[in-house]
Amino acid sequence: MEIIREIPAMKAWVRAVRKRGETICLVPTMGYLHEGHLGLMRMGGPLADHLVISIFVNPTQFGAGEDLATYPRDLPRDTELAGSVGVECIFYPGAGAMYPPGYCTYVEVEDITEGLCGASRPGHFRGVATVVAKLFNIVEPDVAIFGEKDYQQLAVLRKMVEDLNMNVQVLAHPTVREEDGLAMSSRNKYLSAEQRKNALVLSRALLQARRRVERGERSAEALKAEAVRMIEQTPESTVDYVEIVDPVLLRPVERIEGRAVMALAVRVGATRLIDNMTLETS
């Protein structure tokens, strides 16, 4: 396992790979790896000659008062886990290398970033798009994999790649869940045992909506209201948003016809968690 910290060294590694005509799959992460990340890596392994991950807690995607300083970090553990699923190289840059003094170039994906997490975390997707564009320029992957748990992030990055004609195929990996349904997230670490139980309301509310659609409910308003009720009845849980949107441009829909995505963000104690599920009519 190679850990590369410097951008010129990473670029040299990529040049050598390219010279041999070989391909690269990149899984960008912020580290503190869990089974969800490992799923992305297992998916990526067979898709290219080289599997690279990046670990970078990207300061530009955190807002004031968010958890940048406390975001969990554990490189030795991450290295072992990544090695166990065939990762060959970890790109592990420092913030000073990614954003040196005088840095002033950002990628802004409009429209699709306005709702959902974009509304409650202003600037978040500008930071995500910027860092991922930089990672793509440095690692030059043929394929990059992102988790569907961060559904809006995936849609934003797909739009960025399309709009900026980037030479990378963006693939999605389904959300990986604990046995009881909680979507895996590095932030689950912040939850107490009691909060961990309360956090199940996210997946339960989504599953309940899915069942209601299967039984014929088509009104987005009714489905959202029921989810909000379930969340508000759960201790220590407050709704940030509950939305039902079209799967590509993430515009709110009024009726479920064909495929839609129900997405929600909930604060459980001080921890903000997100989750989503597809709602589909046959």
Instruction: Give the catalytic positions in this structure.
Output: 37
Evaluate whether 240 touches 265 at the Cβ level (below 8 Å).
yes
Evaluate whether 93 touches 30 at the Cβ level (below 8 Å).
no
Nearer to ligand PAF, 120 or 281 (CB): 120
Nearer to ligand PAF, 82 or 132 (CB): 132
Residues near 26 by beta carbon (within 8 Å), at least 6 away in sequence: 44, 52, 53, 54, 135, 136, 139, 141, 143, 144, 145, 168
Query: What order of strands is seen across the sheet that includes strand 271-280?
Result: 237-245, 259-268, 271-280
Task: Count the residues of the shown chain that bind ligand PAF, applying the rule CB under 6 A.
Answer: 10
Q: Does 141 bind ligand PAF (CB under 6 A)?
A: no
Report in angstroms how near the CB of residue 211 gets to ligand PAF at its nearest: 29
Residues numbered 17 to 76 that lie near ligand PAF (CB under 6 A) are: 28-30, 58, 61
Residues numbered 77 to 136 that lie near ligand PAF (CB under 6 A) are: 128, 131-132
Nearer to ligand PAF, 148 or 243 (CB): 148
Give 3's strand partners. 90
CA 206 to CA 203: how far, in whole Å?
5
Query: What order of strands is seen across the sheet that includes strand 2-4?
Result: 2-4, 89-91, 50-55, 24-29, 143-147, 169-173
Nearer to ligand PAF, 133 or 277 (CB): 133
* Site mask for ligand PAF (CB under 6 A), range 149-188, x = bound: -x--x-----------------------------------
Report in angstroms how near the CB of residue 32 gets to ligand PAF at its nearest: 10
Nearer to ligand PAF, 87 or 213 (CB): 87
* Residue 24 tokens, joined: 């690269």
Report in angstroms how near the CB of residue 29 gets to ligand PAF at its nearest: 5
What residue ranges bind ligand PAF (CB under 6 A)?
28-30, 58, 61, 128, 131-132, 150, 153
